[in-house]
Structure 1
């Protein structure tokens, strides 16, 4: 069981091994391949251009040597011939100038028309063939992508792989207003990205993540790249991305997907920050739901989307025989986790027909087809109504039927990958709290869950990071430099300090060390970071209090302070007469502008 709980952190940050790999500093390739669209046009259109120019040249000089009519026997000059051939060869038509043509001249002009039409047809056909050529279109797309990357000046996440998991990650990043760049080998997926309704256009290009040049071109060499996420369906490609990032940019966070433990170990050798095997993770979650139900409820609740209510306790999840029906590595990973916990597990292949679940306590429908999984789950429920049923969902298309079926547990690999990857990138302190809950004992999780529910309610809380520094909390810092300010004071309503706002202190970061569920009576210090869980409106009220000197003094002492300058001066004078003292400045200080907030 202990080994299994350790594996719960399948996405555990790799232990730093600075001396395990010898590196030589090299320049990261960031230039596009030599194929240029302009040179392709000149190379492919060389013969058509020669044909068009030759036709115009021959027809121009031919017309200049043909004599005119008996009334005007003078032949046309070269410039006059070029003028006539130009509007004739372009099929515009302008008459006979500067005078009427002879029969020979008219025959030559007719020949010019047919020759020019043939030359133009050949050139246009060649141009259309070039435009439809896949290599040319890739060159155009590559140049467009290169220009887009040069204009990127904000921090971004490089996402390699735009399948279901990659799309979920990109959508979560877009919802938070974060920029990202996408690489995927499938051009159809890249084209689909433009139709997926993101709030802004994000650079994307169809290329393999195995090519270091493409990773460099996609921003690996950029100072604005803050993380790399490898979520392709190919473990070797993900491993290649991890290797490239570790060797060329070891300071970057890299999150990788792995479908088996061998590739996961190889990624660990290259110190991947997070390695996520969703199949292995789900089996560990099932065991945790069985052995540590309160920890499972707390972790699954905190990882759910907003407005999700606290899940009920799984009453009918008990010890006994489990049946796992799967046709790929999912069945192996889940079975290995369940057996590691000492459970009796029977593995069957969906091709062998419907399994016998009459004396089983749990059934996992884990085939690669959602239709087969739903059919297997329905048959299992008919045979054993008390059975705990877990269903694997591979596509969002089948979300509505599965929701209507109401299984006890639904496993969505892409959702698990996306939530953890985005949380680790955008909200490291929030994820550290969830990760801490996964490894604490069940009693601690039960107590924390009760405290959070009593403070914020049964819906999934919103997280808010408070940076107690002069930039993000000027009034609080001015107060803390001479007086004490406790965590419970920060949670008071600035209108009525006897009312506690809907907020729960989850993590206190001081000098790089995290304290989980800190005591409400703990005194905060300047440069501390406090992660709060709560309701959005109350958290916004707490943030605004940190900028108001009067509000900070009121929540700390209960003393109501005037906010207007004249009344504040009068109040300070009266207090001084009575022997009281206020830490408020006599004149309002100029507040710094709100700087952009770092990740939670």
Structure 2
């Protein structure tokens, strides 16, 4: 018995008993009370007539349809019936209202609805712990790729607003503390369809507890955590967490790409962006003096990247302790540290803003960051601006300042997690691409633009196994050779190429960037593609439909149905039988 049913039976037991007794006494009294028919003969109501009379009387409907006029004795009993049943109904209705308003019942009803929604998910789902800005951005990014997600969040108001969100898929949500193992289990941690747990709360300590609980209760599940402190990162990895994402370190690597290889940064932006949106333009950073306002985790991470590039940097921060620590390190001897905030023109001028090429506004306060940027641009309009946006709600304000690079932690985390879940090979591809020449990145960009046009591509991974490529594996077992180029042919019109480009081939532990069309595919291979959504659908059709795969390999359009396939084979054999001998020899 469910908790909802149990609460209903417990709360409504007394009202139901009182209603039954009230009706039973009233009906019995009407049957026993004597009456007179239209001929003046004694008459008594049947049980059906009495039940009918009590029903419309107790509900205050009062049809007035009775076989004969009531006697005084019957009218007296009817008065007793009215007060008895109406009072019973008022008591029962009051109990129903009290039950509906009971917090325990409403919580049980919500959990029951959550369990129902969970059972209705057709595929695997991702459990997101924390539905703040990062969790919301992640749910939006994953549902846009038709990946089901489930949310557990401590703030009940956010869960109540969940049905109003404009997500492509239904997102079940439950109110609870993700640190509690029981509540994590209720949210679906041990469900057979739970494929991964993502801990993106605002606390590293809570994320660590979620990671430990997930790995202990479901060892085989993929666990992804957000962490901003190095100590917690190490602790998470020690418990087997699959991926730990630090938004500041991630952005520092993105910033390094923009400095060293604008083409590679553009490639990263295209391949990890939201599909079907407009292509972004390359970013070019001039060489010269940089100013960093705010020397916390964000500013320090970007400073290290600039230091590796041997760029002269001036840091502005109000902390005396940070200044002393900064100046005590020998690698910082060529750079300056000024005590201040950067809001005022005087501090910026002293730091050298007039001749600087770039400004990093990286405090943990959005108002301060906006003020720094506006003041700096009044002095030097040509600055390259890197802005830190802490709150999603301030998105329109940061859009209005037209920063060259914008760092929004929730978007950074959502983008990387989406890439990890949708195309795990993409991270390996980007790591290997960093070691390539800028010319390689330019060629890759040209190939992507030639295949896709002006929209950002979809990214997918083809696993050559029985589960994801049934027809492909069947053909390989027969000893036939399939090339990468075969997969790029349209299964409806073989001569037409799909709008897709292979990015990387993984064979065992070897990685091959930009595989050519003549490379033969082997069982167990993994291929990373980028392309349009239509190309993805067509490729899935080819790799799982034997008829379509045979067509793109042989130009022969063989029938699907058994009878027509047998007729087709008979005609082919008959054609070979009647073919002239010399001609047959020549065709071999």
Determine the structure 1 residue equivalent to 2:279. 309
Render the CA deviation track for 1:421-468: whole Å, top value 9, x for unaligned: 12211211233312433xx33xx1513311212322275444354455
CA contact (8 A) 1:508 1:518 kept: yes
Residue 9 (structure 2) pairs with residue 42 (structure 1): yes
Residue 510 (structure 2) pairs with residue 510 (structure 1): no
Q: Distance in 1 between matches of 2:230 and 2:205?
A: 13
CA contact (8 A) 2:124 2:195 kept: yes
Counterpart pick for 1:101 among 62, 66, 71: 71
Q: 1:319 to 1:291 in 2, by over 3 A?
A: farther
Residue 167 (structure 2) pairs with residue 198 (structure 1): yes
Q: Distance in 1 between matches of 2:170 and 2:489?
A: 42
After TM superposition, list the pairs within 5 Å mapping 1:312-327 onto structure 2: 312-316=282-286, 318-325=287-294
CA contact (8 A) 1:65 1:75 kept: no
Determine the structure 2 residue equivalent to 1:446. 438
After TM superposition, list the pairs within 5 Å mapping 1:114-513 onto structure 2: 114-291=83-260, 293-306=262-275, 307-316=277-286, 318-325=287-294, 332-341=296-305, 342=307, 343-348=313-318, 353-354=343-344, 356-358=347-349, 359-360=352-353, 361=356, 362-366=358-362, 370=366, 372-437=368-433, 440-441=434-435, 444=436, 446-457=438-449, 459=454, 460-467=456-463, 472=469, 487=484, 503-511=500-508, 513=510
SS at match of 1:219: coil
Q: Distance in 2 between matches of 1:258 and 1:357?
A: 32
Determine the structure 2 residue equivalent to 1:552. 553
Q: 1:411 to 1:338 in 2, by over 3 A?
A: closer
Structure 1: which 5+ runs fail to align?
1-33, 326-330, 555-563, 583-600
Q: How far apart are residue 210 of structure 1 and its match?
A: 2.2
Render the CA deviation track for 1:326-348: whole Å, top value 9, x for unaligned: xxxxx621133134343543225
Q: How far apart are residue 407 of structure 1 and its match?
A: 0.9
Q: 1:84 to 1:346 in 2, by over 3 A?
A: same
Q: How far apart are residue 185 of structure 1 and its match?
A: 2.4
Q: Distance in 1 between matches of 2:342 and 2:83?
A: 72
Q: Distance in 2 between matches of 1:276 and 1:464?
A: 21
CA contact (8 A) 2:476 2:522 kept: no
Count of equivalent residues: 528
Q: Distance in 1 between matches of 2:476 and 2:31?
A: 95
Structure 2: which 5+ runs fail to align?
308-312, 320-339, 556-567
Q: 1:86 to 1:379 in 2, by over 3 A?
A: same
Q: 1:55 to 1:366 in 2, by over 3 A?
A: farther
Query: What do you get for the CA RMSD once the two structures are aligned?
Result: 4.4
Q: Distance in 2 between matches of 1:575 and 1:493?
A: 36
Q: TM-score when scaled to structure 1?
A: 0.73
Q: Higher helix proportion, which one? A: 2
Q: How far apart are residue 230 of structure 1 and its match?
A: 1.8
Q: How far apart are residue 400 of structure 1 and its match?
A: 4.2
Q: TM-score when scaled to structure 2?
A: 0.74
Q: 1:197 to 1:496 in 2, by over 3 A?
A: closer
Q: 1:54 to 1:524 in 2, by over 3 A?
A: closer
CA contact (8 A) 1:456 1:535 kept: no
Q: 1:574 to 1:266 in 2, by over 3 A?
A: farther
Q: 1:454 to 1:55 in 2, by over 3 A?
A: closer
Determine the structure 1 residue equivalent to 2:530. 533
Q: Distance in 1 between matches of 2:539 and 2:29?
A: 88
Q: How far apart are residue 411 of structure 1 and its match?
A: 1.3
Q: Distance in 1 between matches of 2:156 and 2:237?
A: 30
CA contact (8 A) 2:54 2:81 kept: yes
Q: Distance in 2 between matches of 1:243 and 1:474?
A: 40
SS at match of 1:305: coil
Q: Distance in 2 between matches of 1:537 and 1:73?
A: 87
Q: 1:64 to 1:245 in 2, by over 3 A?
A: same
Q: How far apart are residue 54 of structure 1 and its match?
A: 5.5
CA contact (8 A) 1:230 1:238 kept: yes
Render the CA deviation track for 1:10-40: whole Å, top value 9, x for unaligned: xxxxxxxxxxxxxxxxxxxxxxxx9712222
Q: 1:568 to 1:263 in 2, by over 3 A?
A: farther
Q: How far apart are residue 273 of structure 1 and its match?
A: 0.9
Render the CA deviation track for 1:51-104: whole Å, top value 9, x for unaligned: 5456556666777887879x99989789587765444333233367665332x6
